[in-house]
Amino acid sequence: MKFACDTGGTFTDLVVEDTSGAVHMFKAPTTPQDPVKGVLDALAVAASAFNMNLADMLGQAEFFVHGTTHSINAIITGNTAKTAFLTTKGHPDILVIREAGRAEPFNHQVDYPKPYVPRALTFEVAGRVLSNGEIIEPLDEAAIIETLRELKALNVEAVGVCLLWSIVNAEHEARVGQLIEQHLPGVPYTLSHQLNPSLREYRRASSTCIDASLKPLMTKYMGSLVSRLQAAGFGGKVFVLTSQGGMMDATHLEKMPIHSVNSGPSMAPLGGQFYANRSIGAQTVIVADTGGTTYDVSLVRDGAIPMTRDMWIGEPYLGHMSGFPSVDVRSIGAGGGSIASVDAGGLLQVGPKSAGAVPGPACFMKGGTEPTLTDACLVLGYIDADYFLGGKMKLDVEAAKAAILSDVAEPLGMDLMEAAWSIVEVATENMVQAIADITVNQGIDPANAVLVGGGGAAGLNSVFISKRLGCKHLLIPDTGAALSAAGALISDLTSYYQATRFTVSDRFDYAQVQAVLADLDKRCEEFQKSAGESSISTVQTFVEARYESQIWEIEVELPNGGVNSEAELADAVAQFHKKHDELFAYNDPNSVVEFVTWTKRVNCKLRTSEVGRLRYDGDARNERAQRSAYFPGFGTVDCKVYFQQDMPHSETFRGPLVVETPHTTVVVDPASTISQTVDGTLIVTSK
């Protein structure tokens, strides 16, 4: 058996593949105070459904894949380790100055953001390396030892080290690491040239400090997860999802915890890509993952999932940049738990504040009193109060009505249904704008893309989002309610190695580039061996390049694995021109191209067969064949209610209707049709 688990803000999703290849899906409330408990609760739900005790079920497990928000939550809430930052003398303000830029350049009421590590914990290291690797000032080891004694007196819990040009010559940085081990034994540290050997001092320093600050926390969390799984009877391998859209052994992640910062959301595009390609062969896909707290949007472009180094933790320019490659996922505060309110100007707002798992929406009867998107959908008739989570959780319609009436309907002078629909409409528009940011702003017309709806709340308004964007098709996979966890089940064991070696197309240094790539290939081979001989491995090669005198680079894949001849160089240059034109609508074929950072990504497949179809466990049938629901322009109308497992594959059904499963509800308006593929994917077509 194989297990994949994604811990969200409201629910912990678990996808299980049994020995026959069938897939099962389970949910349990997330426990923010102890996320591992939420994981164990979801496993207990699964064991109960299989009529097994937990130990027997876990004893059959091959591996367990975990997606977690533990690290990013710690950064946002300031609960990381007390971290010191060591940097080159004369450059203590790297984390303060950043790269400039403001979200609101003319709003002078916005405070300048605080550095990730305060200046009081930033220390300068005497010793200097030039950009060509030459050492012009030796390392002052006596001063460093004195600094380390000061860090010990300050009870520093982690250390980040980022010295100028260590990406060219790492001698000084490596020596600082040795001194930390000698004089601060047991204190975790991160060296920038080992973690993120890329150009741009702020991003390298930021990623180094973030990684160091997470080491005590994630070592404890991973240790707790592994030990509690083993105590419950698990004997397989534990993997953790990474920001790069793959997974990593839990013991390796403890050494580089920054990989887990965007852990869970990175899997939704992988799942969306798989299902869109399998169902209708789509190459341009918008993947929207609607959870209880956030709405995560990503893109599949020409069959590939774009990556970015511009991942902000928190608000752009106000938060902290990871400086580390990540699947390009944009998130907004919109989901099933998003709270609706009327502001001082009399405008309806939905989100970003969320009711979360505790106290939850008003209808959950857990103490929540504010109206949410879930409450609105319940009042509109989209959700069956007696069939939420397959009937395992009963909802209070009257509590939802009362919350909407008092907080939205009465302040706006609306009746109940108008107010409930307004909540859905505003939430839908917020989500549409998030999609526009990742599509229209990058030259992609959403009307030419397929929308894949994932997350437990996706079916509530994805049809409305699809219509608003003009998408030809909306796809909701059978495992869509746990899309990230489903993506994790089909993900690869991955690692990412890179090195900086500057060269230019009109005087290309073949020998130096070949030496760099050979070293990266060697590291990939070592990783492949650690994955086991049975795994099927592939290695992709990328280079970050730019036009001469440009400031920023773009990443281009090198299909040949390197640049070993004039023909391969010409192909690399042509690939760069093409990518530049795709992103910015122009290129300059007569300009020289500068190559900066070289990357090898190794993927090891742990599965040899495709993921099977979802199997519903227990008595999941909904006996209600019809109920009333509200649609704008139509009012309250009678809707057919279908259980997805009973829908024939050869028929097309016209709305208004509702398709239900134990995990989600899909609402189809009167102007749309829906059908189901043999693989269990729902396809909605709107006019």
Going by C-alpha positions, the residue among 270, 227, 213 that lies closest to residue 82 is 213
Task: State residue 184's pLDDT score.
Answer: 97
How many other CB atoms are found less than 10 A from the CB of residue 143? 15
Instruction: Identify residue 68 by its one-letter amino acid code.
Output: T
How many other CB atoms are found less than 10 A from the CB of residue 675? 16
Separation CA 203–CA 199 (nearest Å) = 8
Task: State residue 534's pLDDT score.
Answer: 57
Instruction: Identify residue 563 by its one-letter amino acid code.
Output: V
> Which run of H or E residues covers position 421?
helix 416-438
Q: What's the whole-number average pLDDT of the chain?
A: 90
pLDDT band at 78 (very low <50, low <70, confident <90, very high): confident
Residue 672's SS3 state is strand
Going by C-alpha positions, the residue among 667, 666, 622, 619 that lies closest to residue 386 is 622
**SS3 track for 539-600:** EEEEEEEEECCCCCCEEEECCCCCCCCHHHHHHHHHHHHHHHHHHHCCCCCCCCEEEEEEEE
Please provide residue 548's backbone torsions phi and psi, each rounded to the nearest 5 degrees.
-55, 130
pLDDT above 70 for 307: yes
Q: What strand order describes the sheet that includes 554-557? A: 23-29, 11-17, 2-7, 63-67, 237-241, 247-249, 493-504, 593-605, 536-547, 554-557
Separation CA 323–CA 304 (nearest Å) = 21
Q: What is the pLDDT of residues 199-241, one digit of tens each?
A: 889 999 999 999 999 999 999 999 999 999 999 999 889 999 8
Roughly how many angstroms between the first and final C-alpha of the chain, as a whole number? 43
Separation CA 3–CA 58 (nearest Å) = 9
Residue 366's SS3 state is coil
Q: What is the pLDDT of residues 255-268, one digit of tens each?
A: 999 999 888 778 88
Please provide residue 15's backbone torsions phi and psi, each rounded to the nearest 5 degrees.
-115, 130
DSSP string, 56-108: HHHHT-SEEEEE--HHHHHHHHT-S--EEEEEETT-TTHHHHTT---SSTT-T
| Helix and strand counts by DSSP (H, E) for the chain | 18, 34
pLDDT above 70 for 430: yes
Residue 322's SS3 state is coil
pLDDT above 80 for 622: no
Locus of tokens 């209610």:
641
Separation CA 85–CA 62 (nearest Å) = 40
Residue, of 469 and 648, whose pLDDT is higher = 469
Please give the share of the chain, as a percent, with pLDDT higher than 90: 57
Cα angle, residue 227 at apex, residues 225 and 230 outer, rounded to 5°: 105
Going by C-alpha positions, the residue among 5, 57, 63 that lies closest to residue 493 is 63
Separation CA 98–CA 270 (nearest Å) = 32
Q: What length is written for the chain?
A: 687
What is 2-74+218-260's CATH number?
Answer: 3.30.420.40
Q: What is the pLDDT of residues 655-673, one digit of tens each?
A: 899 999 888 899 999 999 9
Task: State residue 6's pLDDT score.
Answer: 85
Helices 35-49 and 201-231: crossing angle in degrees, nearest 10, is: 50
pLDDT band at 74 (very low <50, low <70, confident <90, very high): confident
Q: What is the pLDDT of residues 33-58, one digit of tens each?
A: 888 999 999 999 999 989 999 999 99
Q: Are 5 and 64 in contact (CB under 8 A)?
A: yes
pLDDT above 70 for 675: yes
- Non-local (6+) Cβ contacts of 176 within 8 A are 86, 125, 139, 144, 161, 163, 191
Q: What is the pLDDT of residues 340-362, one digit of tens each?
A: 999 989 999 998 888 877 788 99
Q: What is the DSSP letter of 329?
A: E
Pair of tokens at residue 50: 């299989």
Instruction: Identify residue 555 by its one-letter amino acid code.
Output: E
What is 493-605's CATH number?
Answer: 3.30.1490
pLDDT above 80 for 172: yes
Going by C-alpha positions, the residue among 654, 4, 29, 22 that lies closest to residue 388 is 29
pLDDT band at 617 (very low <50, low <70, confident <90, very high): low
Indicate the pTM of the whole model: 0.85
Separation CA 416–CA 410 (nearest Å) = 9
Rank 34-43, 86-95, 244-253, 659-668 by mean pLDDT and report only the highest: 86-95
pLDDT band at 620 (very low <50, low <70, confident <90, very high): very low
Residue 414 falls in which region: left (phi positive, over 0), alpha (psi -120 to 50) or beta = beta
Pair of tokens at residue 595: 């190559």
Q: Are 275 and 682 in contact (CB under 8 A)?
A: no
Report, in this order, helix, strand and coil percent for the chain, each rounded to 5: 35, 25, 35
DSSP string, 141-175: HHHHHHHHHHHHHTT--EEEEE-TTTTT--HHHHH
Residue 269's SS3 state is helix
Q: What is the DSSP letter of 507?
A: B
Going by C-alpha positions, the residue among 297, 367, 337 that lies closest to residue 460 is 337
Separation CA 625–CA 640 (nearest Å) = 6
Task: State residue 152's pLDDT score.
Answer: 96
Per-domain boundaries in the chain: 2-74+218-260, 78-211, 358-426, 493-605
Q: Which of 68-72, 508-512, 597-601 has the lowest mean pLDDT?
A: 68-72
